[in-house]
Each structure stands twice: as C-alpha cells, then as structure tokens.
C-alpha cells in the first residue's frame, strides 16, 4: 500500500486497536449530544466508535499530526457513514477554545507526543467544567517480553533502539503524578490486558522491525542494500522468539495497558 497508514488500518487496527477502542469507549461512556475529542487519533478508530454514541446532536473531532493517518480516517468514516470532523494539529497546542469538549480521549498516543505533560494540560484546557478525559498507554517494557528481546536485538545491531519509547509511560505511579500535575482531578488508573492474534508471522516481524528502526539515524544513513541486510539480521535473531508465539499461523502476543480516567 502506498500510504503506510492504510497498512496500519488494515493490519493493526482490527487485531489490536479496535478491541482497545471498545474498552476505552466502555470506560468513557460517551453520551448523546456530547462533544468528543480524540487526540492523536491515527486512523480514527476511537472517534469512529464514539460517533454513534453521541448521535447527530453530538460532535466528534479527531486530531492527528499525520496527514496520511487522517486521509485513511476520513475514508474509513465515509465508508461507515459517520460524521466526524478530522483536524491536523499537535496535541501540545490543540486548535480549540477553552471548554470546547465534554470528553477527551487519547488511545496509545500520549507517549509519542514531544511533551506529554503539555498535551495533558491542553486536554484539560479544552474540557468543560466537570468534563472527562480517558487516556490509555502501554504498561512498561518489563510487561512485554517479546518487545524486550526486540529492543535488545535492535540495540545490538544499531547501537540504540526506539522500542522502549513505546512503553515509556508504563509506570502507574509516575503516570498518575503526571496526570494530576496537569490539573486533572479524581485520577483513576485501571490495568487492562489484551491478547492480540496477528496473521502472517513473517509480515508481522518485518513490519515491527521496519517501524521500530525507521527513526534511528544510523538506519537512515544506510543505503538500501545495507538497510535490507541489517533488517534481515535483526529478523533472523528474532525468528525463534516469534516461533514460540506462533499458534495456528497467528502470532499470539499479550499486551498490558493502563486506562486512565480523570475529570476537570
């Protein structure tokens, strides 16, 4: 696919992010006529799940910094005949007025923002008094053994790894403090576990290696042949851990997350 976001939508969303979105919506309970913001929406699965709950009298906005993600989100919402306002923008500087929303949602995006604390302050700012925020992040790398091995393999071959950044906000105590310091009240954190079943084990591993090494300068400076060789060596090192997780032609991979609820 020309747009990597299309691969994300077709491969990752059904297996991992749609079930997580269902859980988030259960916790958040969007109500008819509410105004809902999905921050770091990606291809919009959370916004798309929220839209039927608020109905025609409500409003759902999905915001992301990636035009590619938003293009796929618009197309998916169109197919599902959902009315959602898609906006390009940064979580650290939300392009909305104070008190514009009753509910702010953020699924597995907070750790990728350049300043997570500033993003949380912004989420609070755009909430109406008494409004709710629900945020999910992955628990720590220590809860994800496959990604621990992948992190070490990439670091051995490239000198550094970005895998751990995905799990950087996994400490529940630190997360609670960060949310409270943003001025949000009644902070509750609920652990959540999910077993994802990815088809095409080789494709899964290739995609993980490509995504997790894409931003590493040492990888970017290699020519195509050297990059392919290095990727092949990392994949070879991860082949046995991958086999241990493969059942019936699917990679069965457990994930552990934190679901955070708070109010303005």
Question: Domain map of the chain by residue range?
Answer: 4-141+164-198+254-263
Backbone angles phi, psi at 135, to 5 degrees: -130, 140
Q: What is the pTM of this model?
A: 0.93
Query: CATH assignment of 4-141+164-198+254-263?
Result: 3.40.50.150
What separation in angstroms does the CA of 169 have from each of 103, 247, 253?
22, 30, 20
List Cβ neighbours of 179 (8 Å cut-off, separation of 6 or more).
120, 135, 187, 260, 262
pLDDT tens-digit map of 162-194: 899 999 999 999 999 999 999 999 999 999 999
How many Å apart are CA 165 and CA 130, to the nearest integer?
32
Read off the pLDDT of each residue in 42-50 and give the average, rounded to a whole number. Answer: 98
> In this predicted structure, what is the pLDDT of residue 226?
83
Confidence of residue 34 (pLDDT cuts 50, 70, 90): very high
76 neighbors 44 (Cβ within 8 angstroms): yes
pLDDT tens-digit map of 93-138: 999 999 999 999 999 999 999 999 999 999 999 999 999 999 999 9
With 70 as the cut, is the pLDDT of residue 215 above it? no
165 neighbors 156 (Cβ within 8 angstroms): no
Question: Residues in the chain, how many?
Answer: 264
């Amino acid at each position: 696919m020309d747009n990597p976001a299309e691969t994300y939508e077709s491969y990752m969303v059904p297996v991992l992010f749609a079930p997580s979105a269902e859980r988030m919506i259960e916790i958040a309970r969007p109500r008819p006529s509410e105004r809902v913001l999905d921050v770091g929406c990606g291809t919009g699965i959370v916004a798309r799940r929220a839209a039927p709950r608020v109905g025609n009298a409500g409003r759902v906005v999905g915001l992301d910094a990636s035009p590619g993600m938003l293009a796929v989100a618009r197309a998916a919402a169109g197919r599902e005949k959902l009315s959602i306002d898609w906006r390009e923008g940064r979580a650290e500087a939300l392009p909305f007025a104070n008190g514009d929303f009753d509910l702010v949602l953020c699924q597995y995006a907070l750790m990728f923002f350049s300043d997570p604390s500033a993003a949380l302050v912004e989420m609070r700012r755009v909430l109406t008094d008494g409004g709710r925020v629900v945020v999910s992040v992955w628990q720590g790398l220590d809860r994800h053994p496959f990604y621990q091995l992948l992190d070490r393999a990439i670091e051995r071959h490239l000198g550094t790894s970005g895998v751990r950044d995905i799990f950087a906000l996994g400490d529940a105590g630190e997360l609670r403090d960060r949310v409270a310091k943003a001025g949000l009240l009644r902070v509750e954190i609920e652990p959540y576990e999910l077993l994802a079943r990815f088809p095409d084990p080789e494709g899964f591993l290739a995609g993980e290696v490509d995504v997790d090494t894409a931003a590493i300068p040492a990888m970017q400076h290699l020519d195509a042949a050297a990059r392919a060789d290095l990727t092949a060596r990392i994949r070879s090192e991860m082949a046995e851990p991958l086999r241990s997780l493969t059942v019936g032609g699917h990679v069965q991979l457990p994930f552990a997350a934190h679901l955070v609820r708070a109010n303005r």
